[in-house]
Chain A
Amino acid sequence: MSQSTIPRSVFNQNIIEIYEKSIKLGDTWQLIKVNEDVYYLEKKDQKFINNEILTLIFHIIYSESYNVPVLYLNMFKSNGSIAKYNDIYSFFNLNNLKNEERDSDLILTQQEHPILFKPFYYMHPCKTSQWMSATKIGENDNFNFTLKWLSFVFSALRIPLDIKYAL
């Protein structure tokens, strides 16, 4: 049975590792330090769709109450207006989920960002420990919990993640 939750110190180590790999791979994750204890990862992505520049921002933040990483994301147009629910849902193809799939925490809801205090979308972490413990990959202690979590979350949202992170 794999680990289901991690303490903040492990999370911090995890994301530092991911950040260092990101530099080597030429990926664009940024490590942001809020204070001595609080760090998070940020990635920006820009796409040109329908003659419009769409910017996506991903934050990987530690959830103190659930003891797991949480994904916060935002999507906005070039004039700074934040995407509405409908736009987010159709962008990530979440509208066509059947009810069972809906029950899993693939739902993105808008929430105040815990560090920036601005409206962001996030994936509720209540079920994270459940499905993390259900997987068999990386049962030994050395495996990067956050990286494993990220690979699941990103593949569910169909965001590419370089396979070389696992090496």
Chain B
Amino acid sequence: METNCEKDLFKFLPFSSCINPSFWFELNRVKLDDYRLDDDFKNLKGFYSNCSSNDLPPIMNFDYSSFQETNDKTKNGHISTIIINGKIKIFNTINEFNVLDKNKLLDEFGNAIWNDIKTGRALDDPNLLIRFCLIVFANLKSYTFHYWFAFPAITFPLKSYYQLKTNKFTEIFTSEQSNKIIENMTNFQLKNEHHQSFFAIEFETLNVLTVKEAIDRHNLGKRILFGFYDPNSQSNHPGWPLRNYLALLALKCKKTDEEKRNLEVISFRDRYHGGARTLDHSLVILVEVFNISEDEEKVNTIGWERNEKSQLHPRVVNMSGSMNTEKLAESAVSLNLKLMKWRIAPDINLDIIKNQKCLLLGSGTLGCNVARCLMIILNGESKDNHKSIKAAENLKLIYPGVNAKGVVLSIPMPGHYVGDNLRSKVKDDVKQLEQLIKEHDVIFLLMDTRESRWLPTVIAAAEKKLVINSALGFDSYLVMRHGVKTGDPDKDELPKNFQPNQQIPSNHLGCYFCNDIVAPGNSTVDRTLDQQCTVSRPGLSMVASALAVELFANVMQHPLRLQVPSFSSNESISGCEESCLGIVPHQIRGYLHSFSNILPASQAFDKCTACSNEIIQMYKKDGFDFLLKVFNDPTYLEDITGLKELKTALDQTETDFVTELSDSEEFEKF
């Protein structure tokens, strides 16, 4: 290895700060709970390692324990982490942080070190020679931190240290001697309460001495090598702590008549190599040190850390990705979806679901459960109705990233009379509902009565929106998607001859009311409480709402989307329309009693009281006036759809059926 014969200006490698994310979490907590508005300097601890790998710069680490009283951790006399005491000042405003006189602050620290050296405090406790200062401004809302470290080191104008000669440890000491030194060092450290970063070795005896003792002996003429735990393991350059150490030695060591003297310094690197403890990487350096006295006129201080671009500026870090709960929740949801895509359903189109605007009508158990399910699969908007503002708030508590708005409105219903005094309010409600339906992509009908579903069904059918309907019985449930018309009357016209086992295109599929020959009327009149509120088995609403959401997902994943047809048979037919998530049935009727479900599909009824052509046309033509007639007269719907005639016809043929079924009696044909 090279030994320098020329005088080289000493290069000291400065510390690089390295912050563990837990440091920011703890700083956040400490500022909020403990320091609050107090922006005085507080104690802080930093950690450096004596045995880092060869290609690392000298690092001082900071983590959550920097704020605590920690103890040295020595194992077998070998220490890997050395604790340094410093100060932190957390400013309350960015302005204060910026306008602080940084040079003045650094000088204060430097002067404090110089004082400790002059007064002898540093001789009694040489660990005082290494310290640091951290100034921070923490924006606790956006989780951004402005920070700047300083590792103060004192310098004297026009005076420099020179590196005269550098030797490997092994060139000065044999391995036997090296082992002896290790032994002595272990004993030395055990005698002290705190680990000593600065020490000295008496060449003659190989004893490890305190700095104070060593200087005395040196001054008496003994050969002393002054050592320090070097945070730097790179090359021939010692780390930063040597700077202040040399200042101490320059003052306290015996002076000569010349302007300078030579001192031997050990850059101590105690590490394990191949399972054995070794000092082989240490260096012994011959240093030329100038003379100084206690009344030096000027003492300069250097040590502000340069930022990533090597400028003398503070650093900024944005920790919102790790500390902002909204972002964390968002990334967790997005990860779940991505994993689905990678592992299970590579064809899944995540964006399509994400961008859907969902309108949830009804915020009872069905409404709340659907909302929860939706949050997991989409990051879109959802609006609730009734009891809904609180529901929207709660949604945000569960998943802060959800875009949810609660709307309170009453849905007027057929057969529920609207008095004159209520007329204008009901008109506004209808208008609001129409607006909501227009603005959203999918409507979930999750109310607790049959008739309350009528109006949204009509509006959504007119607007050609997707409707997912869910209704509960005691132990049975229905989840279905309403058919969606194309708007083209030829295409939308229902075929006269319906064949079972055939495919039903979406614009011919039925709605919730298609299978009923009774118009929705006031079902709550004359009912007891248990008949008015649907009493269901507790698990039912969860199953139904989950299926409603997943049915919606299957529709959206299908290339035809709203226009996807269904099969009226329960068996899956090969080549049948499937999205990457599976088939898209028209209805799912489930029975908890037998834990089973069936998947019927039915064609729309041309006399349906909600989605038939007549109704839609009348709604489009007369708007609220038409609706008002429906609300006020429960039989109106049956009249205009032709249901009334159908029922009359049925009544007349009824006797036929009955007499035909009876064996014994004679019957007369009409």
Contact = CB atoms under 8 A, between A and B. Distances in A.
Nearest to A103: B343
B322 A82 contact: yes
B315 interface: yes
A119 interface: yes
Contacts of B75: 23
Most central of A25, A48, A52 by chain B CB within 10 Å: A48
Contact of B321 (A48, A74, A81, A118): A81
B167 to A, nearest CB: 24
| Prevailing SS type, chain A contact patch | mixed
A92 B597 CA distance: 47
A118 B64 CA distance: 12
A46 B56 contact: yes
Contacts of A28: 80
B21 A78 contact: no
A76 B315 contact: no
Contacts of B145: 80
Grouping DSSP codes into helix (H, G, I), strand (E, B) and loop, the B interface class, with mixed when no group exceeds half, is: mixed
Interface residues of A, number: 31
A53 B328 contact: no
B275 A80 contact: no
Contacts of B59: 46, 53
A127 interface: no
A96 interface: no
B55 interface: yes
A25 B18 contact: no
Interface in B308-349: 308, 315, 317-319, 321-322, 328, 331-332, 335, 339, 342-343
A81 B19 CA distance: 8
Contact of B21 (A27, A48, A80): A80
B256 interface: no
Nearest to A167: B275
Interface in A77-124: 78-82, 84, 102-103, 107, 109-110, 116, 118-119
B634 interface: no
B277 A81 contact: no
A132 to B, nearest CB: 22
Contact of B275 (A55, A118, A164): A164
B602 interface: no
A118 to B, nearest CB: 6
A24 interface: yes
Contacts of A24: 275
Nearest to B320: A81
A116 to B, nearest CB: 7
Report which residue of A46, A74, A107, A162 has the largest number of chain B beta carbons within 10 angstroms of its beta carbon: A46
Contact of A25 (B55, B272, B332): B272
A103 B343 CA distance: 7
B318 A81 contact: yes
Interface in A7-53: 23-28, 46-48, 52-53
Nearest to B17: A78
Contact of A79 (B61, B273, B315, B331): B315
Given A26-B271, A78-B18, A102-B342, 18 more contacts: A23-B75, A26-B51, A28-B80, A46-B52, A46-B53, A46-B56, A55-B61, A78-B19, A79-B19, A79-B317, A80-B317, A80-B319, A81-B317, A82-B321, A82-B322, A103-B343, A110-B335, A119-B328
Interface of A: 23-28, 46-48, 52-53, 55, 57, 74, 76, 78-82, 84, 102-103, 107, 109-110, 116, 118-119, 162, 164
21 contacts: A26-B271, A26-B273, A26-B276, A27-B272, A46-B59, A47-B56, A48-B57, A53-B16, A53-B56, A55-B20, A79-B19, A80-B20, A81-B21, A81-B317, A102-B343, A103-B343, A107-B339, A110-B331, A118-B21, A118-B322, A119-B322
